[in-house]
Amino acid sequence: MLRNPRGGLFFPALYLLIYPHYTRLHPDKEYIMNKANISILVFALGTSLVAQNIDSLNTQTPYLQALEIALRDGSISRDERDLLNILGGVMSIPADSSSLLESRFLRSSTPTLDQSGRWPLVAQNMVLGVGLYGWAIPYVLHADDFRWVLGSEMLSLGAAFYFTHKYTEHKSVTHAQTQMMRYGSLLGLRYGFGINQLLELDSGDGEKQETLWAWILMGSVPLGHYGGEYLFDRYQPSNGQAWAWTIWTGAAGFATRQSFAALSNKPDPADYGDVWFDYNPDYEKALEKWEKQRTVVELAAYPIGIWAGYRLSHEKDYSFGDALMLAQGWGYGFWNTMMLQGVINENASDENIVMISALGGLGGMFAYDHLVKGYDYSFGQSILMMLGSASGTAAGWGTAVLLDSGDSKPFLISGLIGYGLGTYYTKSILDVSPDGSISSNETQLRISPTPLLARDDKGDFTTIPGLQFSLSFK
């Protein structure tokens, strides 16, 4: 044991004595008192306890602290290595022990990859592989035989798993990143359909056009995927922020599409004669033009929705449950606005009803965004809020049925009142955590392989492969 009876002055004095002597023995080496050397000296000055047990690797605290200082720039220079050797020699740490200490320190300081979102990414790409590429690849190759379609579906399933697995093998894949890439892929697919519609490639006029139509769809998905990944890499949203961001984007696109349908002059079949029995090319041409205009407006709204969604979510500490609260805020806002219109104006057109309901959905999102302000809803609490609101609405409808009013207005009013009471009651009984408590470490779903104990035909115990399923429901 080495002890310093006068506090932390032993190592500085020893360092100052050894340093000139060491340089005289090695005149070919140039030693510079760089920042790392000074840091080690300052550390030694601040060390008040230097009693070390040379038989235990876990008690070499001064050496590990000096090692941490030396590694702050990511590597150990020649001067830093020599000083560490001096310190190790003074502390009677053998060379093999110092190497073991350094390897342990490097392993403990190396950050582990967060791959919690890896399996959802693999699963979603497998679904896209079967749902799009499985039939599109034989389609563009003009392989009409069913065995090609079936074989391509199976190969697409396996290829989606393998390539996604390799792509994410050595990189961090969080739930937030997966959500951004998932929504990017779906939004890319929507743009693919829109481009096909605008270029009239989905009309079935000729084999080449149909082939190009499929190629555009297959190319739009990876472009959207990388677009979502780019936004994640640049802005680094949390899981709750990523979900809230994409929910705002989708709601903005839907509301824009419905607003255009209600506010524009959609061609009326009555203005073109009886088109239900006789084909009228003028009406079909006018309708196609109107639908293209609606698609252009909708596709132009998504970038605005992405910008607005980022502005509305990037400074807020959303949990995943908070994002689900925004989603149900949109759903209940849409549905309640539709019921309210049934009470106020029964003669409104379908386009106006859907447009106002879509705007009501946005209003519901703003209301629920205020509801979650200052709180972190868990996944389970968000689901309970959804169930409480739905059960309150159903109870209101049930009351109207029992009263047998025979009119739709009391039925709708009772549903609105029931929704309000159910939402208020459920909110009052939930013990919601304060803001920031679970937004960064909440895990909702986990699936991992595990061996299972089973009996074989002879009655002996054996193990079989299985999956462990874990769902966090707080």
Helices (H), 271-407: 281-313, 320-344, 350-371, 379-403
Q: Mean pLDDT check: name the lowest of 220-234, 347-361, 440-454.
A: 440-454
The mean per-residue pLDDT over the stretch 56-63 comes to: 51
Neighbours of 173 (CB within 10 A): 23
Percent of the chain residues past pLDDT 90, beyond the cut: 37
The mean per-residue pLDDT over the stretch 166-193 comes to: 91
116 vs 276, more confident: 116
Contact indicator for 50, 14 with CB cutoff of 8 Å: no
The mean per-residue pLDDT over the stretch 29-38 comes to: 44
Inter-CA distances, 171 with 107, 123, 273, Å: 17, 17, 61
The distance of Cα 300 from the centroid of its chain, to the nearest Å, equals: 24
pLDDT, position 86: 73
- The amino acid sitting at 273 is G
> Model confidence over 225-240: pLDDT tens digits?
999 999 999 999 999 9
Q: In degrees rounded to 5, what are phi and psi of residue 454?
A: -150, 165
Would you list the DSSP string of 88-150? HHHTT--HHHHHHHHHHHHHHHSPPP--TTHHHHHHHHHHHIIIIIHHHHHHHTT--SHHHHH
In this predicted structure, the answer to whether residue 308 has a pLDDT above a threshold of 60 is yes
pLDDT, position 271: 77
Q: What is the mean pLDDT of the chain?
A: 78
Predicted confidence band of residue 8 (pLDDT cuts 50, 70, 90) = very low
> Model confidence over 376-396: pLDDT tens digits?
899 989 999 999 999 999 999
Contact indicator for 469, 447 with CB cutoff of 8 Å: yes
Predicted confidence band of residue 63 (pLDDT cuts 50, 70, 90) = low
pTM of the model: 0.69
pLDDT, position 446: 57
Contact indicator for 91, 59 with CB cutoff of 8 Å: no
Domain-wise residue ranges, the chain: 10-109, 118-372
pLDDT, position 71: 64
66 vs 15, more confident: 66
The mean per-residue pLDDT over the stretch 288-315 comes to: 94
In this predicted structure, the answer to whether residue 34 has a pLDDT above a threshold of 60 is no
pLDDT, position 295: 95
How far is the C-alpha of 205 from the C-alpha of 215, rounded, in Å?
A: 16
